[in-house]
Each structure stands twice: as C-alpha cells, then as structure tokens.
Chains A and B, each alone.
Chain A
Amino acid sequence: DTEVTQTPKHLVMGMTNKKSLKCEQHMGHRAMYWYKQKAKKPPELMFVYSYEKLSINESVPSRFSPECPNSSLLNLHLHALQPEDSALYLCASSPDGGENSPLHFGNGTRLTVT
C-alpha cells in the first residue's frame, strides 16, 4: 500500500461540473506535487507546493486550481474541464523538495471528462 492516499480512485465528470481531487500523506513530508499522466506517457508536472506555499505552476490552465490546506493535505479543484483533460492525476510528496529528494506517489485518480 502506498503512503500517499488519493481519492477518489475514479472520477467521471461533465464539462460543466465542479469536482475536487484529494491527496493525503502522513510521512511529515513538506513538499507535495500534482502530476498529470496520459496513457503510455511519463508523468507531467503541474504544481509543486513547498512548505504549504505554491512554488511551481507549470503554466497550467486556470480550470485546475490547487490548494494546500495544511502540510498533510493537497487538493486539486476542477472546473469547466475539457475532454482532453481526461488522464491519470498523480499526487506525490517528498521530504523537502530538494534536488535528490525521492518522490512518493499515490496511485492516482483516473479522471474521465465527458
């Protein structure tokens, strides 16, 4: 079992819906990440939070809105998504976000936008 928990595991939403993806870790890690992964492709970085502050936003469209309520939780709020946003959304954490800091991934939320 992964130590990074993501909910829900699967999500189907229409283009006018608002939904949220949730991620939780209790390893005391201070950096948390959102990645998007399309089939047969590597994960693509979306956002990085370091010590609960947004440190990297990879020019992600505003229909994706991250939130870090505390050091253990990371949310991704979704609104007015497009079918091409369908993908596996992975959350990860690392001890301090340092250069050699390994990432611990959750098992992802499989999102389908209809």
Chain B
Amino acid sequence: TQLLEQSPQFLSIQEGENLTVYCNSSSVFSSLQWYRQEPGEGPVLLVTVVTGGEVKKLKRLTFQFGDARKDSSLHITAAQTGDTGLYLCAGTDSWGKLQFGAGTQVVVTP
C-alpha cells in the first residue's frame, strides 16, 4: 500500500511554464521531505516542511505543507531545462521508516 500518493506521475512542459506537483496521504506526518533525482544520480534533498500551513521558497520553487499535515505541494515558476528530474516526496511512517511517494517525472523542454 502506497502511503504517499503523488500526482501527476509524469509532466512534460516547455521552458518558462509553471508546474505543480502534489503529494497526498490519508495519514498525518510530522514532516515531509522533497527530493529531486536526476538521471544517473541519487536523490538530493530540496526541503523539509514541518509546520502545518508552512510555505517555503527556494528560488523558483515553492513548497507548501497542508494545514492538516497530510499533504504537500511543490510549485515551480518559470521552469528551466535544469528542473528536469524525478521529484519525490517522503514522510516518516508510524514505524519510524521514511516512505517515498511513487514520484513525478518532470521533463522541461527548450
């Protein structure tokens, strides 16, 4: 059973467009993490959101944690080809293990 559901599974956009990736669960998380993985590399942590309703900005990336701490979103403004990658959300389950969502593959074309 997938604890964290990500949508969409795949997203292809052109440079300059905006995009949003969603991470949803029926469970409450004390925190959620977002990672980006590029081909041939391991995932790299982008951000950790901890407080319900929290909004964090990382240059053109905006991360939001839902008020109920069951969902999160990642919004990219004016996407660039360097934003291409697999975006993964992750949260710690009740057994203390970090569980990953299925991921959203983002492709940004010139």
Interface contact B45-A103, CB-CB below 8 Å? yes
Q: Is the interface of A mostly helix, strand, loop or mixed?
A: loop
Q: B31 at the A/B interface (Cβ < 8 Å)? A: yes
- Digitize A25-41: 1 where CB-to-B-CB distance is under 8 Å, 0 elsewhere: 00000000000000011
Partner of A56, one of B35, B88, B97, B101: B97
Q: How far is the CA of A90 from the CA of B42 in the complex (A)?
A: 7
Interface contact B88-A42, CB-CB below 8 Å? yes
Interface contact B41-A103, CB-CB below 8 Å? no
Range for the number of chain A residues in contact with chain B:
20 to 34
Q: B110 at the A/B interface (Cβ < 8 Å)? A: no
Q: A21 at the A/B interface (Cβ < 8 Å)? A: no
- B residues 71-87 touching A (CB-CB < 8 Å): 86
Q: A45 at the A/B interface (Cβ < 8 Å)? A: yes
Using a CB–CB cutoff of 8 Å, the interface residues on chain A facing chain B are: 2, 4, 40-43, 45, 48, 56, 90, 92, 99-100, 102-108
Using a CB–CB cutoff of 8 Å, the interface residues on chain B facing chain A are: 30-31, 33, 35, 40-45, 48, 50, 86, 88, 92, 96-98, 100-103, 105
